[in-house]
Amino acid sequence: MSQYRVLIDADDEKGLVYKVSTVFYNNDLNILSNSEFVDKDNNKFFMRSVVDGEIALDKLKQLIVEILPSNANVKVIEPKKKNIIIMVTKEMHALGDILIRHEADELEANILAVVSNYDELESLVGKFGIPFITISHIDLSRDEHESKVLECLAQFKDVDYIVLAKYMRILTPKFVEVYENKIINIHHSFLPAFIGSNPYKQAYDRGVKIIGATSHFVNNNLDEGPIIAQEVIRVDHAYSWRDMQRSGKDAEKVVLSHAIKLALEDRIFVFANKTVIF
């Protein structure tokens, strides 16, 4: 018995759920779960179904494509562990949380390597038996360093996602283009507020009563990619910005791991710099 995740986005029209369900029924496929959403402002239909039965993946996709509008996007995915690479700098809290969850088999992922521009976290990663690669940026221009990183990543085949677990370097459009909608970042702020460096100090200076963390896909606009997950923590006047920073780290690691899990389970649709999450 095979299981498939069916992901559909298309222009909305009457009867789409019926048509897709009929394909499932006619091919003796059992629907294990199903979610739909219609973006009425853009007339877009989104659907995620999990089915099981006996049918070839390519055949199922073709049958669905045939009954949908011509511009529909259809993915039929057989659930399996996805390949990810984690990129870090010096902070360990987000990386450590991912490594522990991976060790506990909570993530449907193979961590191929951890790549960093410093070697401070090598001993931590070594405890989990995962390759650690240092590509120093010292005495290199941004383009030179990034080219070396891309060259390193190209050695790994079938990379599904790049996870920036507090990787503190801005990626250029060249890098983003190679891994479009495949780079997941954690930002230590409740975006779109307080983008850029030291958002906790910015939040403190503004006198906010909540702080948070945001995980998002990376695009060519700093900290403005499609948002995947967010979390907030209440603070008050007694918090210094460093108190906020310490509390925020808890939110950061939880939000990043949650976003990774959503991606690994094929629950994210990206449309118009926003996400639909099932």
Which residues are marked as active site?
223
Rg (C-alpha) for the chain, rounded Å, is 21
Burial 72-88 (b: 16+ CB within 10 A, else e): eebebbeeeebbbbbbb
Q: Integer distance in angstroms from the first to the last C-alpha of the chain?
A: 24
Q: How far, in Å, CA of 68 to CA of 9, rounded?
A: 10
Q: In what order do the strands lie in the sheet with 132-134?
A: 132-134, 109-116, 82-88, 161-164, 183-187, 210-217, 227-234
Whether the Cβ atoms of residue 197 and residue 168 lie closer than 8 Å to each other = no
Give the phi and the psi of residue 173 in degrees, each rounded to 5. -55, -30
Could you tell me if 259 and 229 are in contact, meaning their C-beta atoms sit under 8 angstroms apart? yes
DSSP state of 66: H
Distance, in Å, from the CA atom of 89 to the CA atom of 169, rounded to the nearest integer, reads 8
What is d(CA 262, CA 265) in angstroms, rounded to the nearest whole number? 5
Contacts of 25 (CB under 8 A, 6+ apart): none
CB 120 within 8 A of CB 94: no
